[in-house]
Chains A and B, each alone.
Chain A
Amino acid sequence: MAARMQMAVSLGFHIVFACIGMVMPWFMFVAEWKWLRTKNPVYLDLAKAWAKGVAIFFAVGAVSGTVLSFELGMLWPTFMQHAGPIFGMPFSWEGTAFFVEAIALGLFLYGWKRLNKWVHLYTGMVVGISGVLSGIFVVSANAWMNAPSGFDWIDGQAFNIDPVKAMFNKAWFSQAHHMTIAAFSATGFAVAGVHAVLYMKNKLEIHAKAITIALAFASVAAVLQPISGDLAAKNVAKLQPAKLAAFESHFKTEEKASLIIGGIPDVENREVKYAIKLPGFLSFLAHGDFNAEVKGLEEFPEEEWPPVPITHYSFQLMVGIGMFLMLIAALFFAGTYKWKHWFEKKWWLRLLAIATPLGFIAVEAGWVVTEVGRQPWIIYGIMKTKDSLTPMPGIQYTFYTITAVYVILTFVVTWLLSRQIQLLQSKYLKNG
């Protein structure tokens, strides 16, 4: 259990930094591009300020990623021994993508003066592309755990390994687009939110520009996300019916299954209390037909159920936030189209401020849905999590140590960023 918690903390920490590390380069790229096009120095300042942020997040993301590559073996040696050769291919590509990202970022950060402007802009784009690619590779490896393929499992050993088939497993595509879009949405709203708070205090041009760039990305992502989520859910229905049943708290197999919104799942009595039920909608969402049969948890032996309440709540939280963010996106589009004066209004900036952490909360909740929803399996249907644990006793101390380090690191990074922002702020106030 401590091992699982440690993995959850490490990944939960890494995922935030990884998302920002893969999305923020795009913002700084757009800002620099705008600067080259419009010659407005505000865009250059913005690009430089964001680049500093990227550097901090990238560095912390890189060390936490390095740690993860070891942690997998320190906590789950049995899993890695069998799974390493099968799902390792995306990791080896990820290594390359990450390397390219690191090099391009080095050039971008330290090359403002040494590189030709357009070459410099291009390195920024390379950072963004390789960041997204490495994210997709890692997600593909995770998708393999949900939809293991590319090998034959005979008597606890893998035979006829096909790394290509394992990499392009049945879950990789739906997980990859869902995660990538989520990263853009979460980071976009977070960045926009921070600048909105600053803009409320001082109406500086730089913040308005920052909000527009970040929100443009975030809004497109937020609108696409439900479609991507729908595809992902249909895929889960096909591949991991127990997981779908768990996050919907759907206990009985039935036709015209109802979609359950909210509520408190009562596992013992196999029912959900105080929930809104929309008859037939679950069947429609899972299989595209209001009359289709949706398998309930009762189809599976109880020891193979994922923890139902956690999965259910996380799923509801993720979807709820997703809907809310989509609403903000709609307002943003409407405002851009016709009602530009909205963007100066207090309610709008407040709304953005509220949305700052929401995207990342949804990302973490979604991560819980996919990971906890896979339990008790580490490789779905093949190997159980508890069977792959390290034999070392006292693993909880490793967990405490790592958690403490991450908590400290989170505080330091937050503090550092707020100092950076103050610095930027004071520079502008002096000049203006």
Chain B
Amino acid sequence: MAEANLIILVICLMLYVLLGGADFGGGILELLSRGKASKIVSRAIAPVWEANHVWLILVVVILFVGFPSVYSTVLTALHIPVLLVLLGIIARGSAFTFRHYDIDEERPKAIYSAIFRYSSVFTTFFLGVTVGGLILGEITMDYQLGFYQVYIHPWLNWFSVSMGLFMVLLFAFLAGIFTVSEIEDKDYIIYFTRMTKRLLISLVVMGAIVFATAKVAGHPLLKDFINSPISVACIVIATLALPAFWYFLNKNKGNWLRLTAGLQTTLIVTGWFAIQFPVLVKTKSGHDITIQAAKAPEQVQLFLLIALIVGVLIIFPAMGYLYKTFKFSEEPES
């Protein structure tokens, strides 16, 4: 039962990375394109951004109901980067809404836009740093070790920082795909196709840097990846998909693009999860928190699962209706 909930958690996480990622990336892309993407991004994500956010809440709820010690440990050790992520979420969420609803004047709009763009980068970066902290395993529950060792070191290291940068590139890339498949203006297609290609190349390079910094930090990330058949499969498929991807990008095939980009991102998350399993949080002392140790009693898992399944049955059709209403119609909105 706990495994089923964990799988749902991973699915929510993937959806958050894909949909929320495109949304966070929208801000980054606006920054990179010096505002050129602004209108497109704003139009594309405005009706759905509130909904995107909920994936993260679901992840958090599954964690504290089903795996409470993971929730408590992580939020204690990674208090600071998580706080920074939260500040970013507040800033970009509010700025985006304000930009959309405030009356049309240049100056406030420019300020909202700037806040939205910079906080998108900021939030994504610290999200990556937090994930980096989770993977690296420098988290300690020995609270006597001193402030730096307990609350700073687990996330302020080269590996986590490169994870942060990786995340920024990944989200910008996803938003790039989203934008390219959304727009019709020829010049913009060329502009954003080129930008997406550059982002893809940087992403691959940054991925290599992530592995390198892991090795320097003494984390056997590469070895773990090779030892797990699922991860190897993920990497192989992801690599093989790259040329196909390039082809779709050149031919501007919107739906195929989204599909392959989605596939690649899913593979990254799955691959990571496969090497991590059954450990949920790696710690310094070696007493890793495994799924066995962290899971709440069966009874709780059962009711959580029921709630999640009912939720999914209600949410997915509604979500589908939302996308259908807005994504496949051409008329501009008032």
In the complex, whether A80 has a CB less than 8 A from a CB of chain B is yes
Tell me if A52 and B101 are in contact (CB < 8 A). Answer: yes
Q: How far is the CA of A157 from the CA of B53 in the complex (A)?
A: 33
The residue among A100, A106, A111 with the most chain B CB atoms within 10 A of its own CB is: A106
Stretch from A57-65, A175-183, A260-268 that touches the partner? A57-65
Residue in A55, A74, A78, A88 whose beta carbon sits within 8 Å of that of B61 in the complex: A88
Interface residues of A (CB under 8 A from B): 52, 55-56, 58-60, 62-67, 69-74, 77-78, 80-82, 84-86, 88-89, 91-93, 95-96, 98-100, 102-107, 109-115, 161-164, 390-394, 398, 401, 405, 409, 412, 416, 419-420, 423
Q: How far is the CA of A391 from the CA of B86 in the complex (A)?
A: 20
Residue in B57, B96, B100, B325 whose beta carbon sits within 8 Å of that of A107 in the complex: B325
Chain A, Cβ-Cβ closest to B84: A401
Tell me if B333 and A409 are in contact (CB < 8 A). Answer: no
Tell me if A84 and B71 are in contact (CB < 8 A). Answer: yes
Which 3 A/B pairs are nearest by Cβ-Cβ distance? Answer: A88-B65, A85-B296, A73-B75
Once A96-B311, A392-B79 are accepted as A-B contacts, the answer to whether A60 and B94 lie under 8 Å apart by CB is: yes
Tell me if B87 and A81 are in contact (CB < 8 A). Answer: no
Chain A, Cβ-Cβ closest to B333: A110
In the complex, whether B102 has a CB less than 8 A from a CB of chain A is yes
B116 to chain A, nearest CB (A): 12
In the complex, whether B72 has a CB less than 8 A from a CB of chain A is yes
Once A78-B72, A88-B61, A103-B319 are accepted as A-B contacts, the answer to whether A63 and B54 lie under 8 Å apart by CB is: no
Tell me if B307 and A96 are in contact (CB < 8 A). Answer: yes
| B contact residues around A89 at 8 Å (CB) | 65, 303-304, 307
Q: What are 9 A-to-B residue pairs whose CB atoms are below 8 Å?
A: A62-B50, A63-B94, A74-B79, A85-B66, A88-B65, A91-B61, A113-B334, A164-B303, A391-B76
Chain B, Cβ-Cβ closest to A106: B47
Q: How far is the CA of A390 from the CA of B61 in the complex (A)?
A: 19
B218 to chain A, nearest CB (A): 26
Once A59-B93, A84-B71 are accepted as A-B contacts, the answer to whether A100 and B103 lie under 8 Å apart by CB is: no
| A contact residues around B54 at 8 Å (CB) | 95, 98-99, 102
Tell me if B299 and A60 are in contact (CB < 8 A). Answer: no
| B contact residues around A393 at 8 Å (CB) | 147
Tell me if A69 and B61 are in contact (CB < 8 A). Answer: yes
Chain B, Cβ-Cβ closest to A111: B325
Q: Which of B65-98 contact A (CB under 8 A)?
A: 65-66, 68-69, 71-76, 79, 82-83, 86-87, 89-91, 93-94, 96-98
Tell me if A60 and B300 are in contact (CB < 8 A). Answer: no
Tell me if A63 and B311 are in contact (CB < 8 A). Answer: no
Tell me if A100 and B315 are in contact (CB < 8 A). Answer: yes
Q: How far is the CA of A351 from the CA of B304 in the complex (A)?
A: 48
What 0/1 readout, one digit per residue, does chain B (43-62) give for beta carbons within 8 Å of chain A? Answer: 00011101101101110111
| B contact residues around A419 at 8 Å (CB) | 102-103
B122 to chain A, nearest CB (A): 14
Q: How far is the CA of A95 from the CA of B53 in the complex (A)?
A: 11
For the complex with contacts A71-B86, A80-B71, A163-B299, 4 further pairs of A-B residues with Cβ separation under 8 Å are A66-B86, A77-B72, A95-B61, A398-B83
Chain B, Cβ-Cβ closest to A90: B307
| B contact residues around A85 at 8 Å (CB) | 65-66, 68, 296-297, 300
In the complex, whether B310 has a CB less than 8 A from a CB of chain A is yes
In the complex, whether B233 has a CB less than 8 A from a CB of chain A is no
In the complex, whether B188 has a CB less than 8 A from a CB of chain A is no
Q: How far is the CA of A56 from the CA of B102 in the complex (A)?
A: 10
Tell me if A92 and B307 are in contact (CB < 8 A). Answer: yes
Tell me if B71 and A163 are in contact (CB < 8 A). Answer: no
